[in-house]
Amino acid sequence: MSGLRHIAVIDIGKTNAKVALVDLVTLSEVGLRRMANAPLRQAPYPHHDVESLWTFILNSLASLDREQRIDAISITTHGATGVLVDASGELVLPVLDYEFDGPELAAEYDAVRPPFAETGTPRLPVGLNLGAQFFWLEKRFPTEFARAAAMLMYPQYWALRLTGVAANEVTSLGCHTDLWSPWEADFSSMVDRLDWRRLMASVRPARDQLGPILPVLAARTGLDPQTPVFCGLHDSNASLLPHLLSDAPPFSVVSTGTWVVSMAVGGREIALDAARDTLVNVSALGDPVPSARFMGGREFSRLTKNKPQDCSGSEVLAVLTKKMLLLPSTQQGSGPFPHHAAAWLGAEGISKGERFAAISFYLALMTSTCLELIGADGPTTVEGPFARNRLFVGMLAAATARIVIASEAATGTSIGAALLASDQPVTHGKGERIEPQTDPVWAAYVTAWRAAVDAQG
């Protein structure tokens, strides 16, 4: 694989889909295509618009290849998503959107799902436990389910469409699905209890080459017919991979997007609290990784209404000194405070800039809570869009009293996914190092926020 340099990374996020061209020599993105990604709200249930995504993927590959020859393709996607295909690789049912609140049978599912101690998977709302999705689909659509020849995780569904080869992989299987035991490195007891093991495509390492692209796709895109496609991995674990290959523990990585996912490597031993959205992820190297998350990107979008935001130094100081606080949670049902109702304190007459600062501080303090819950230690690297928010990274450093590194990569997931194609030693570009604030007004703000959250109950 040492001759591969320019890797096209298909990156399907919950809010946006991207195809990035990554240069493995410079570990940078040299090309990017992006589209909004929204589920189709139509029968038989809300589901992902995979055909629109497929057209976007093929068009992006063709366009990027005209600018710089693509040497290989890698794939990363959001979690909590799986696919049922028949013997010919066609969908037997639409790909269910995990935010759909229609699936019932919760009591029946709870009776068969494995305990947290076996899987490191907490019981989550809506369809965030992938096993619950498959369970509901089997009960609700038995005829269609009976036609399924394979259960695939979402990255490997796209790999199947590109290569014709069916596979699964541990980072997506281990992402709060109830389907995987990270300590046994095998399917959970529920998979056998429900007779699903026969449907599970073989588990392959994330960096396995599943094959070259199909000839019809080479003709459609102009790519070399021998362009290899790698098995792929879950997006938060893609953000983690460069650090696993280059950093000395202890450290933590915060992957930001629709979800803010915190992962601790070599941290303090701590008992995870399943009621506070902590979980055990599985890294691309196959190791259990204590993790916690909340829907921070979704919260930021709703709170700012997706409009450009900025603030002055005086507005930041006003928020800190007057202790204008946003308390959790604007997105209820997940995260470290799943049952708390959002509230503003000390925010009478708050300006637009002050509001942006308080929102940024809120997201940082939620992230620091997640890091504490998983025993994080050492420096924290922030990947993704929040790395460019100086208020967020500054408050995160203040709240954790540890160095925060704001990653320079525009899309942290794309670099990690591209590294699946590399067999060279990794020296990961870090970005700016932010030292914890020494001004006591920052520490006082952290203390006030935590006290107010505790008072919420």
pLDDT tens per residue, the chain (457 residues)?
Answer: 458 999 999 999 998 999 999 999 998 999 999 999 999 999 999 999 999 999 999 999 999 999 999 999 999 999 999 999 999 999 999 999 999 987 667 889 999 999 999 999 999 888 999 999 999 999 999 999 999 999 999 999 999 999 999 999 999 999 999 999 999 999 999 999 999 999 999 999 999 999 999 999 999 999 999 999 999 999 989 989 989 998 999 999 999 988 999 999 999 999 999 999 999 999 999 999 999 999 999 999 999 987 778 899 999 999 999 999 999 999 888 899 999 999 999 999 999 999 999 999 999 999 999 999 999 999 999 988 999 999 999 999 999 999 999 987 655 789 999 999 998 776 655 689 999 999 999 999 999 999 999 999 7
Element spanning 212, H or E: strand 209-212
Whole-angstrom CA distances from 182 to 261, 300, 314, 335, 390 are 18, 32, 48, 21, 35
CA angle, 241 as apex, 237 and 243 as ends, to 5°?
125
Q: Are 254 and 207 within one domain?
A: no
Domain boundary among 174, 202, 231: 231
DSSP character for 247?
P
Q: Is residue 61 part of a domain?
A: yes
Q: Is residue 255 part of a domain?
A: yes
d(C-alpha 166, C-alpha 170), whole Å? 14
Across-strand partners of 265?
A: 251
Query: H or E segment at 22?
Result: strand 16-23
The predicted pLDDT at position 325 comes to 98
For residues 246 and 204, membership in a common domain is answered with no
**Confidence at residue 106, expressed as pLDDT on a 0 to 100 scale:** 84
142 and 249 co-located in one domain: no
Closest to 317 (Cα-Cα) out of 176, 161, 439: 439
d(CA 228, CA 242): 21
Tell which residue, 242, 215, 122, has the closest CA to residue 175.
Answer: 122
Rounded to 5 degrees, what angle do the CA atoms 429, 430, 434 make? 160
Domain that holds residue 386: 236-456
Asked whether the beta carbons of 91 and 85 are under 8 A apart, the reply is yes
57 in a structural domain: yes
Whole-angstrom Cα distance, residue 264 to residue 250?
A: 8
Beta bridge partners, 187, equal 180
Question: How far is it, in rounded angstroms, from Cα 264 to Cα 63?
Answer: 38
What are residue 17's phi and psi, to 5 degrees?
-110, 140
Q: How many CB atoms lie within 10 A of CB 347?
A: 16
Q: What is the CATH number of the domain that holds 116?
A: 3.30.420.40
Do 280 and 215 reside in the same domain of the chain? Answer: no
pTM: 0.86
What pLDDT does residue 218 have? 98
**What is the rounded distance in angstroms from the CA atom of residue 42 to the CA atom of residue 451?**
44
What residue has token string 């230690």? 377
Give the span between the Cα atoms of 73 and 159, in whole angstroms.
9
Same domain, 14 and 112: yes
Determine the pLDDT at residue 104: 67
Residues 6+ apart with CB under 8 A from 148: 84, 85, 86, 92, 199
Q: What are residue 196's phi and psi, to 5 degrees?
A: -100, -15
Domain stops at, among 231, 258, 281: 231
